[in-house]
Amino acid sequence: MSQETFPVANVGGKEIPYDPDQLRRIQQHPCFSEKACHSFGRMHLAVAPKCNIQCKYCVRDYDCVNESRPGVTSQVLKPKEALERVDQVMEKYHYIKVVAVAGPGEPLANEETFETLRLVGEKYPNLILCISTNGLLLPARSTSWTAWGSVISP
Protein backbone atom coordinates (compact mmCIF):
# COMPACT_ATOMS: atom_id res chain seq x y z
CA MET A 1 0.00 0.00 0.00
CA SER A 2 1.52 3.35 -0.99
CA GLN A 3 1.60 6.46 1.20
CA GLU A 4 -0.94 8.18 -1.11
CA THR A 5 -3.63 5.58 -0.32
CA PHE A 6 -3.62 6.17 3.44
CA PRO A 7 -6.46 8.26 4.80
CA VAL A 8 -5.60 11.67 6.20
CA ALA A 9 -6.93 13.58 9.19
CA ASN A 10 -7.30 17.34 9.31
CA VAL A 11 -5.62 18.49 12.53
CA GLY A 12 -5.36 22.22 13.13
CA GLY A 13 -5.72 22.94 9.42
CA LYS A 14 -2.98 20.48 8.46
CA GLU A 15 -3.57 17.20 6.67
CA ILE A 16 -1.81 14.45 8.60
CA PRO A 17 -1.63 10.96 7.05
CA TYR A 18 -2.53 8.03 9.27
CA ASP A 19 0.39 5.99 10.57
CA PRO A 20 0.37 2.74 8.51
CA ASP A 21 1.12 0.54 11.53
CA GLN A 22 -1.64 2.14 13.61
CA LEU A 23 -4.05 1.83 10.68
CA ARG A 24 -3.21 -1.91 10.46
CA ARG A 25 -3.96 -2.30 14.17
CA ILE A 26 -7.34 -0.64 13.77
CA GLN A 27 -8.22 -2.71 10.70
CA GLN A 28 -7.31 -5.98 12.42
CA HIS A 29 -8.85 -5.22 15.83
CA PRO A 30 -12.27 -6.89 16.21
CA CYS A 31 -13.50 -4.10 18.51
CA PHE A 32 -12.75 -1.29 16.05
CA SER A 33 -13.42 -2.77 12.63
CA GLU A 34 -16.67 -4.34 11.48
CA LYS A 35 -14.78 -6.46 8.94
CA ALA A 36 -12.18 -7.57 11.50
CA CYS A 37 -14.78 -8.92 13.91
CA HIS A 38 -15.68 -11.55 11.29
CA SER A 39 -12.08 -12.38 10.31
CA PHE A 40 -9.86 -12.05 13.36
CA GLY A 41 -10.08 -13.22 16.95
CA ARG A 42 -9.04 -11.82 20.29
CA MET A 43 -8.40 -13.28 23.69
CA HIS A 44 -8.58 -11.63 27.08
CA LEU A 45 -6.19 -12.47 29.87
CA ALA A 46 -7.44 -12.11 33.44
CA VAL A 47 -4.25 -10.93 35.15
CA ALA A 48 -5.43 -7.72 36.84
CA PRO A 49 -7.36 -8.32 40.09
CA LYS A 50 -6.93 -4.88 41.71
CA CYS A 51 -9.13 -1.93 40.86
CA ASN A 52 -8.93 1.80 41.55
CA ILE A 53 -12.72 2.42 41.75
CA GLN A 54 -15.89 0.55 42.68
CA CYS A 55 -18.40 0.64 39.81
CA LYS A 56 -22.01 -0.07 40.79
CA TYR A 57 -22.41 -2.77 38.11
CA CYS A 58 -19.22 -4.61 39.07
CA VAL A 59 -20.18 -7.31 41.57
CA ARG A 60 -17.31 -9.72 42.26
CA ASP A 61 -19.14 -11.91 44.78
CA TYR A 62 -19.60 -14.88 42.48
CA ASP A 63 -18.43 -16.47 39.26
CA CYS A 64 -20.81 -17.98 36.76
CA VAL A 65 -20.03 -19.61 33.42
CA ASN A 66 -22.83 -17.58 31.83
CA GLU A 67 -21.46 -14.23 33.05
CA SER A 68 -19.46 -12.01 30.72
CA ARG A 69 -19.53 -8.71 32.56
CA PRO A 70 -16.55 -6.84 34.02
CA GLY A 71 -15.15 -8.13 37.28
CA VAL A 72 -16.04 -11.79 36.68
CA THR A 73 -13.47 -14.48 36.05
CA SER A 74 -12.95 -18.08 37.06
CA GLN A 75 -9.22 -17.63 37.64
CA VAL A 76 -6.72 -14.79 37.86
CA LEU A 77 -3.54 -15.75 36.02
CA LYS A 78 0.05 -14.88 36.83
CA PRO A 79 1.95 -13.32 33.88
CA LYS A 80 3.82 -16.54 33.01
CA GLU A 81 0.56 -18.52 33.21
CA ALA A 82 -1.00 -15.96 30.88
CA LEU A 83 1.81 -16.45 28.37
CA GLU A 84 1.29 -20.21 28.54
CA ARG A 85 -2.42 -19.65 27.85
CA VAL A 86 -1.53 -17.51 24.82
CA ASP A 87 0.79 -20.29 23.60
CA GLN A 88 -2.07 -22.81 23.87
CA VAL A 89 -4.54 -20.58 22.07
CA MET A 90 -2.13 -19.52 19.30
CA GLU A 91 -1.30 -23.15 18.61
CA LYS A 92 -4.98 -23.93 18.05
CA TYR A 93 -6.45 -20.70 16.65
CA HIS A 94 -4.24 -19.02 14.07
CA TYR A 95 -6.70 -16.19 13.43
CA ILE A 96 -6.06 -14.53 16.82
CA LYS A 97 -4.74 -11.00 16.22
CA VAL A 98 -5.41 -9.32 19.59
CA VAL A 99 -4.38 -10.23 23.12
CA ALA A 100 -6.00 -8.03 25.75
CA VAL A 101 -5.97 -7.46 29.48
CA ALA A 102 -9.45 -6.45 30.58
CA GLY A 103 -9.57 -7.22 34.26
CA PRO A 104 -11.12 -8.56 36.28
CA GLY A 105 -10.04 -5.24 37.84
CA GLU A 106 -8.41 -2.16 36.32
CA PRO A 107 -5.44 -3.21 34.16
CA LEU A 108 -3.50 -0.01 34.84
CA ALA A 109 -3.69 -0.59 38.61
CA ASN A 110 -1.81 -3.89 38.30
CA GLU A 111 1.89 -4.42 37.56
CA GLU A 112 0.92 -7.88 36.29
CA THR A 113 -0.67 -6.19 33.27
CA PHE A 114 2.62 -4.72 32.13
CA GLU A 115 4.63 -7.88 32.81
CA THR A 116 2.06 -9.91 30.85
CA LEU A 117 2.12 -7.48 27.90
CA ARG A 118 5.92 -7.51 27.92
CA LEU A 119 6.08 -11.31 27.85
CA VAL A 120 3.43 -11.67 25.15
CA GLY A 121 4.88 -8.82 23.07
CA GLU A 122 8.36 -10.30 23.13
CA LYS A 123 7.19 -13.74 22.05
CA TYR A 124 4.48 -12.58 19.61
CA PRO A 125 5.58 -9.22 18.17
CA ASN A 126 2.90 -9.25 15.45
CA LEU A 127 -0.02 -9.50 17.87
CA ILE A 128 -1.93 -6.38 18.80
CA LEU A 129 -1.66 -5.82 22.55
CA CYS A 130 -4.69 -4.18 24.10
CA ILE A 131 -6.01 -3.08 27.45
CA SER A 132 -9.53 -2.08 28.37
CA THR A 133 -9.38 0.62 31.01
CA ASN A 134 -11.57 3.07 32.87
CA GLY A 135 -8.90 5.61 31.91
CA LEU A 136 -8.36 7.22 35.29
CA LEU A 137 -4.73 6.07 35.52
CA LEU A 138 -3.76 6.85 31.91
CA PRO A 139 -1.80 10.04 32.68
CA ALA A 140 0.23 8.31 35.39
CA ARG A 141 0.81 5.05 33.48
CA SER A 142 1.06 6.14 29.83
CA THR A 143 4.81 5.46 29.62
CA SER A 144 4.23 1.93 30.94
CA TRP A 145 2.42 0.74 27.82
CA THR A 146 3.65 2.83 24.91
CA ALA A 147 6.64 0.56 24.25
CA TRP A 148 4.30 -2.12 22.95
CA GLY A 149 2.18 0.10 20.71
CA SER A 150 -0.94 -0.98 22.55
CA VAL A 151 -4.45 -0.04 21.56
CA ILE A 152 -6.46 1.26 24.49
CA SER A 153 -10.24 1.14 24.54
CA PRO A 154 -12.51 2.77 27.12
Asked if residue 23 belongs to a domain, the reply is no
Point out which residues pair with 96 in neighbouring strands: 41
* CATH number of the domain residue 47 falls in: 3.20.20.70
**121-146 tens-digit pLDDT:** 999 998 989 888 888 998 888 776 65
pLDDT band at 25; cut points 50, 70, 90: confident
Asked if residue 13 belongs to a domain, the reply is no
Asked if residue 16 belongs to a domain, the reply is no
pLDDT at position 36 over 90: no
pTM (2 d.p.): 0.75
How far is C-alpha 39 from the chain's CA centre?
17
pLDDT band at 29; cut points 50, 70, 90: confident
Please confirm whether the linkage preceding 104 is cis (ω < 30° from 0): yes
Asked if residue 68 belongs to a domain, the reply is yes
Overall number of domains in the chain: 1
Domain interval for residue 134: 37-153
